[in-house]
Amino acid sequence: MFETSEGKDIKPDKSIDTIGLYCPVPLFETREAIDSIKVGEVLEIIADDPAAEEDLKRFAKRTGHELLLFENDEGILRFLIRRTK
C-alpha cells in the first residue's frame, strides 16, 4: 500500500465511483473527471478492479498529476489525485 500523510486530510473536489467497472473503464472515467476539474483541485476515485491500482498510478505519473493517496481496504481501492496542469 502507498499513501502520503497529506492525503488523509484532503477533502476531494470531485469524487467518482467505479465499483463494478473493469479495465479500461475506471481509467477512462478518471481521465474524463480529471479534465473536468481545475488545476490544483483533487479527484477521488473509488474502484474495485484489481487492474485499477497499476493503471491509475501509471496514469498519474505519465500525465504529471500528483497521486496524494492510495488505499486498499480489502479490495476497495481509493485514490486521491491532484490535477497539476
Domain positions in the chain are 10-82
Could you give the 3-state DSSP secondary structure of residue 77?
strand
pLDDT one-digit tens code per residue, 14-61: 999 999 999 999 999 999 999 999 999 999 999 999 999 999 999 999
- Per-residue burial over 51-74, b = 16 or more CB atoms within 10 Å of its CB, e = otherwise: ebbebbeebbeeeebbbbbbeeee
CATH number of 10-82: 3.30.110.40
Active site residue 22: no
- List 23, 25, 37, 46, catalytic entry: 23
Given a contact cutoff of 8 angstroms between Cβ atoms, the answer to whether 30 and 46 are in contact is no
The answer to whether residue 8 scores a pLDDT higher than 70 is no
